[in-house]
Structure 1
Amino acid sequence: MTTDPQPSVRIDTGKAHPARVYDWLLGGKDNYPVDEAVGALLPPEARDAARQNRQFMHRAAAWLAAQGVDQFLDIGTGIPTEPNLHQIVQGIVPTAKVVYADNDPIVLRHAEALLVSSPEGVTDYIEADVRRPDGIVEHARHVLDFERPIALSLIALMHFITDEQGAGDIVRDLVATLPPGSYLVLSHAASDLYPELAEQVTEQYAKGGIRLAFRTRPEVERFFDSLELVPPGLVTATEWTTPDLPADPEGSGIYAGVARIG
């Protein structure tokens, strides 16, 4: 089943939005000229990073579902691009429940048509900002059972939240709501792997009015404080893999990790 989405009409086409720029980088069509203007200024490696990030999400979601996790809270969903998270996990656990959240109204508009659950499972969507996590959790409680393990997915999201905006506190607060046996799935753009490239990307996003907060490996690792990183630990997006899959030798400027809570 799919629960009724929240109506939304406030789409600002005059300002670039991270979800729509990401859609453009992935070759999608659900973006506006202002988003394309940002994406077109980025180096070619930005497209590679978007693809690598997406592939990490697929591998991590499949691994979690194979471990028996059947509840997912995906914040910073982005424009739906198949296969979506629920398609990955419901292909393994048909009864899985997935709550999507994003602060771009266009994401929710497309969610109505594209984020359709398997008959046995549930998908749900909320227009919300990660900087107000309490509202997301409150909504998610109507769909997910917070007495059982939940996978919290923060894919390529936290580098849009600065330390001044409380990035670390946001992740800690979200993790604190989850029961033991839950997981945090997080990917994050690196400032220290390809410094010149990171600076270039940051500058071009800023021209579109989007502030970035790329971080070093130790800074990204802090999001996993007190959590148990599962193998292979905090690595690049192409290096994060499961024992049955070989690591991709392609370089990546994205850090990625999955950690168990409690």
Structure 2
Amino acid sequence: MPERPAFDPRIPHPARVWACLIDEGGEYYESDREAAEEYKKSFPGIVAFARASRGFYSRALNYLLELQHDQFIDLGCGLPTRDNTHQRVQRVRPAGRVLYADVDPVVGLKRDALSSSTAEGSTDYAHVDMRDTDQVLAHAKTVLNLNRPVALLLSDCMGHLDYEEALEIVGRLTDALPSGSHLMLSHASDLDEVQRVAQEQYNAIPGGIPYHLRSVEKIAGLFDFDHLEMEPPGLMPWADWRPDETTNSVRTGYGAVARIR
């Protein structure tokens, strides 16, 4: 496995840049703010894009709660915001259990915000590289009952990996979860030329962590496992996946929820 990058506040990190863009709380550094501002100059639509991603996550999480899920793995969770996964879950399921996992050291410093819980439930944070699926699952066993269904949340994090790595991780994790579990996955597409140029500029920052925009076909490939079955409406642009009154018009990000058979 590649070594984890050393923490250097002078180098922007995706989780912290994202916190700048969605403006829902979270701590970041001057380097992150500057990277976010440069991205906005190259692609002014990035703020609406980031909020559309957050909107898909919110609607998908609500759907998973409607399916009676009370156990969640939020992998590549990013910095705490004003309303985190465990808070949303435990408002509906007070006994809900959530494991957060991320490799960003700043996320780890804020773990207290991710490990508070209701008395009935349980929440924890694991500082782990998502590529180390054995460690992800080992941590999950300390918080969740892996003999019962689990919802795995992969919100815009697979783009940080090579495609073959992403396929392997999705396959290994979903194969390890019991029948009746679900996968939620969202990913930015390569449909917008302006965004592609802006992303290439961001990816060129020395020491940074690139994000790979991908074709819709490749995003669909992340669900192409025999043990996964798409929930309606399938893989859709964020704006078209169970839209509500808060949904904006961004259609260059895609997401879906799939049942693990």
TM-score by length of structure 1 reads 0.89
Contact 1:235 1:257 in 2 (8 A): yes
**Which structure 2 segments of 5+ residues have no match?**
1-5
CA apart distance, 1:23: 0.7
After the TM superposition, which residues 105-184 of structure 1 pair with which residues of structure 2 at under 5 Å, given as runs? 105-113=105-113, 115-163=115-163, 166-184=165-183
CA apart distance, 1:178: 0.4
Contact 2:70 2:150 in 1 (8 A): yes
After the TM superposition, which residues 195-206 of structure 1 pair with which residues of structure 2 at under 5 Å, given as runs? 195-206=193-204
Report the AA paired with residue 79 of structure 2.
I
CA apart distance, 1:17: 1.0
Residue 53 of structure 2 aligns with which residue?
53
1:235 aligns with 2:232: no
Q: Distance in 1 between matches of 2:248 and 2:16?
A: 28
Contact 1:158 1:167 in 2 (8 A): yes
CA apart distance, 1:152: 0.5
Q: Distance in 2 between matches of 1:205 and 1:148?
A: 39
Q: The residue matched to 1:207 in structure 2 has which SS?
A: coil
TM-score by length of structure 2 reads 0.90
Q: Distance in 2 between matches of 1:47 and 1:249?
A: 11
Q: Distance in 2 between matches of 1:223 and 1:254?
A: 14
Residue 3 of structure 2 aligns with which residue?
none
CA apart distance, 1:149: 0.4
CA apart distance, 1:142: 1.1
Alpha-carbon spacing, 1:148–1:44, altered in 2? closer, same or farther (3 Å)? same
Q: Distance in 2 between matches of 1:220 and 1:31?
A: 29
Give CA deviations for 1:44-92 in whole Å, capped at 9, x if unaligned: 2111111111111111111111211110001010111121111111111
Q: Distance in 2 between matches of 1:100 and 1:196?
A: 33
1:41 aligns with 2:42: no
Identity of aligned residues (%): 37
Report the AA paired with residue 101 of structure 2.
A
Residue 25 of structure 1 aligns with which residue?
21
Count of matched residue pairs: 249
Residue 224 of structure 1 aligns with which residue?
223
Residue 67 of structure 2 aligns with which residue?
67
**Which structure 1 segments of 5+ residues have no match?**
1-9
Q: Provide runs of 4+ in structure 1 moved above 4 Å.
A: none
Q: The residue matched to 2:183 in structure 1 has which SS?
A: strand
Alpha-carbon spacing, 1:260–1:78, altered in 2? closer, same or farther (3 Å)? same
